[in-house]
Each structure stands twice: as structure tokens, then as C-alpha cells.
Structure 1
Amino acid sequence: MQIAIVLYPDFTALDVVGPYEVLGRLPGAEVVFVAEDPGLVRNDQRSLVVSPEATLDEVTNPDIVLVGGGPGSRLQLDDGKLHEWLRAVDRTSTWTTSVCTGAPILAAAGLLRGRRATTHWAAMEVLARFGAIPVHDRVVVDGHYVSGAGVSAGIDMSLMLAGRIAGDDVAQMVQLIIEYAPEPPYAAGSLDVAPESVVERARAALAR
């Protein structure tokens, strides 16, 4: 089972590393990080560099496709090589998935038209612009498309997918191995509960 995780400049690390930690532990999993061009890819905080194992041209038939988000996703909305690749591999993939603002990339490629999907709370209108149906849920499944909301939701999305692929027992085993039992010290993880002052600071930070 080949799992292709897409990298591009200014990606958010947890968007792809969280799902990698979960899906890479499934029986028979072969994870490959792919990018449009060979060479190192730097994340949005500029301090993490990942070397993709293959270019898009070298991965033609993955079972699972995962596109993470990040500030760099804004530069991946125009039709081009990545979109062509996504449309091609989506024809045979068992699952095409996204985390955070990876969903607008799938939508811009034409894969989510008329489909329900979620993304980071600050990017919901981008989904709608490309014909997807925005849903304010943490994980959304529509056909063979699975989307996770912002950043940390990629772990939830991947655990749900792990259960579908390998069964609940295996998914729970992986959850225990990575000790995923969130107990955040603050109630500020969504627009529904975050104080307005925190929301304003977050919007300003994202705008920068």
C-alpha cells in the first residue's frame, strides 16, 4: 500500500508529519514523500527541511494521496503540474485525502466539485470558490475523499482512515503507540470556544 504525501515550499510540518506517524505504521504501508521538483523542501517556519524521495513523475499509482496545507498552499491553487498529477492519480487511488489548506488544492484541481469537505477555519471560502461544499467538521468523508480541518486534525483524519483500512483494533493500537490522548491546557482550539481577542490575534497572524 503506497502512501504518497505531497510536499511544496512553505508547507506546515504537522499537516504531513501527523498523518505520516499514523499511516506509516499500518501493515504493508510504504510512505513516499513526493514533490514537483527534486531537492530540499522547506516548511513554513523555515527551520525544517525535508528531502522528498521522488518527484511527481516517479509516483504514478499510489493507493493513498495526502496533500497537507500551509501558507505555501496559496501558490498551489493555479492549474499546473501538481493539479495534473492529482487528477491523474485520483483516477486509481483508493483514498485521496487532505489536511488543513490542502483541501483547497484538491478543490482547485477540480476534484471536490459538489463534494463535502473541510479545511482550516480561515480557508472555508476558498473551498466554496472552487465548487466544494464547506463543512465545519473536524473530519469529512465524501466518497473516496477524506479531508481534515486545521493542522492537528490530520491525526484524527488519519486514525479514522486507519480504521477503515486496517480495522479498529489496528487503528487503536497505532493511537496507543503514538499516545494520542489530547488534553490541551486551553479551550481555544476552535472558533466556537476561543475568546474573541484570541481569534483576532490569530486572524492577524495568519494574514501576515
Structure 2
Amino acid sequence: MTHPTTRRTLLRGSAATAALATAGLAARPAAAHADAPRKPGAGGPRIGILLYDGYSLLDPTGPAEVLSRLPGASVTMVAERRGPVRTDTGDVAVVADRSLAEAGRLDVLLVPGAGNRGVIAAMENQTLLKWIRATDRHTRFTTSVCTGSLVLAAAGLLDGRRATTYWASAEYLEKTYDVTYVPERFVESGKFITSAGVSAGLDMALHLAARLTDDDTARAIQLAVEYDPRPPFDSGDWRRASAELKARALKLLEDSQV
């Protein structure tokens, strides 16, 4: 038995569609190639986020959430080879849609951080460092999250610059490379924008969004993703943390990594 379409059912459908649209969930026609990376719009920035074994999950995915909302932007995960790349805990993998050879020219490069095993391997991976240097020659901005700044420094891109990194790696960054550590959420030095640990990548990405477009667009994206952090504990600043708390935080990271 068929049910007649009434004004009430149409209104219910319209209301449901409006509610879904508000949440970004309205139904859309199926794309011809749903599994293909989204192509940039006219004049939109091409943004490549590097993945390598052992990266920290929020480092690439947090900024990707922000930057993928830029009008016309194309955000692509890139790795040495296409396919899933696992995080430092080994529990989660993110798919790289393009290999280094397929990435092409990028307007923005983002290098995430990792646990000790992952970041040391990346810093010693000459194929990766060579690609980062070659890609940087054409970028408008080259960026990093957390210990990703160590990878940029290993590639020789931060010489003589100010930068930030994960708090526990700050001394290593300054002693090993010609870099001045600045204890801020993010630091812009020329075309290089580095951020502090993990969650600071969201702050950096919003700043980058403003640099790529304008402040109003970045503000709108911040509201769109409802980024208004009010953590239940006032313990996120290493400068005010006790030695005991810092030791426990580092132990939790160490124990969770593979």
C-alpha cells in the first residue's frame, strides 16, 4: 500500500533535511569515484599532510578537520607508499591516498609528530627528508605539529629560526639544531609555522586558516567545528606542572606506544 504525500510529510522531510544540513549530514548524490581524493576548487590551496609509521593520531587529523573546511581546499594524506599508516599506539591507522611520488606540488605541507621510535626513524629517513626539502621549495607554508618540528629541523629547514615543539623535546631541539625554542602554542617564522604538542595543532591550523584566507573565515571554521576548549583539569601547561605529574605523563605516553 502506498502512502499519500501530504504537506505535513513534506514539511517533516524538509525539517529533517534542514537539521541534517545543520550538522553537515544532509544526503548528497553519490560521487562517481567516492574513494578518490577530493580535488581542489578554483584557487583553493593544495594541502598535504605527511604520514609516517608511529605518528601521533591527533597531529594530522586535528589540523585536517580544520583545514578541510577551507573554501576550495584539497587535503591529502601522503606517505612513502599508499595505504594505511599506523599510529604510535598501533591501534589506529589512517589511509594515505598518495605516495610521495604522487603528491605533486603543495601549497601547504604539514609534518606531524610521533613517539620516540617514530620520530627518530623519520629523522633518519633520508628518502623522507629529501622529499620534505624538495616539497618545501614550492610551498607557501611548511608546518609541523609536536615533534614534527624535529623532522623539519633534521631536514635543515629550521636553521636560524624560532620554533616550538613538544615540551619534553624542547631541550633536544635547541641543543641539536640551530633553532631557538619558543614556548608558545604555535610559532610563525617566515613561512614556517610550528606548533607545540598534539592538541596545539588545532590552534596552529586555525591560525594557518586565517593566513590562507582571512580572520572571519577562520573564526567561522572554529565555530563550525565548535572548538571552544574548556578542559576539566588545569594541567595542560608543562611550565606549571609538578615534576611528578610530568614524569607520569611521559610514562603514560611511553607505555601506550609500540
TM-score, normalised with respect to structure 1? 0.96
Shift of 1:205: 3.4
Shift of 1:132: 1.6
Match of 1:3 among 38, 47, 65: 47
Secondary structure (helix, strand or coil) at the match of 1:31 reads strand
AA matched with 1:177: A
AA matched with 1:148: S
Secondary structure (helix, strand or coil) at the match of 1:85 reads helix
Contact kept in structure 2, 1:79 and 1:109, CA below 8 Å: no
1:30 and 1:126 mapped to 2: Cα distance? 34
AA matched with 1:22: V
AA matched with 1:131: D
TM-score, normalised with respect to structure 2? 0.78
2:72 and 2:169 mapped to 1: Cα distance? 34
The match for 1:203 is 250
Shift of 1:200: 1.8
1:40 and 1:207 mapped to 2: Cα distance? 23
The match for 2:167 is 121
2:242 and 2:233 mapped to 1: Cα distance? 11
5+ long unaligned stretches in structure 2: 1-44
Q: Deviations over 1:105-163 (max 9, x none)?
A: 00000000111100000111232212221111111000000001000000000001111
The match for 2:151 is 105
Shift of 1:192: 1.9
Of stretches 40-49 and 124-133 in structure 1, the one that deviates more from structure 2 is: 124-133
Larger radius of gyration: 2
The match for 1:26 is 70
Secondary structure (helix, strand or coil) at the match of 1:186 reads coil
Matched-pair identity in %:
45
Contact kept in structure 1, 2:108 and 2:140, CA below 8 Å: yes
Match of 1:90 among 128, 136, 146: 136
2:147 and 2:250 mapped to 1: Cα distance? 15
Q: Deviations over 1:15-73 (max 9, x none)?
A: 01110011110011001100012332111121211110001111131000000111111
Shift of 1:14: 0.5
Of stretches 31-40 and 13-22 in structure 1, the one that deviates more from structure 2 is: 31-40
* Residue 161 (str. 1) matches residue 238 (str. 2): no
Secondary structure (helix, strand or coil) at the match of 1:77 reads helix
The match for 2:228 is 181
The match for 1:43 is 87
Secondary structure (helix, strand or coil) at the match of 1:33 reads strand
The match for 2:15 is none
1:199 and 1:28 mapped to 2: Cα distance? 41
5+ long unaligned stretches in structure 1: none
| RMSD over aligned Cα atoms | 1.2
AA matched with 2:123: L
AA matched with 2:142: T
1:174 and 1:58 mapped to 2: Cα distance? 29
Report how many aligned residue pairs link the two structures.
208
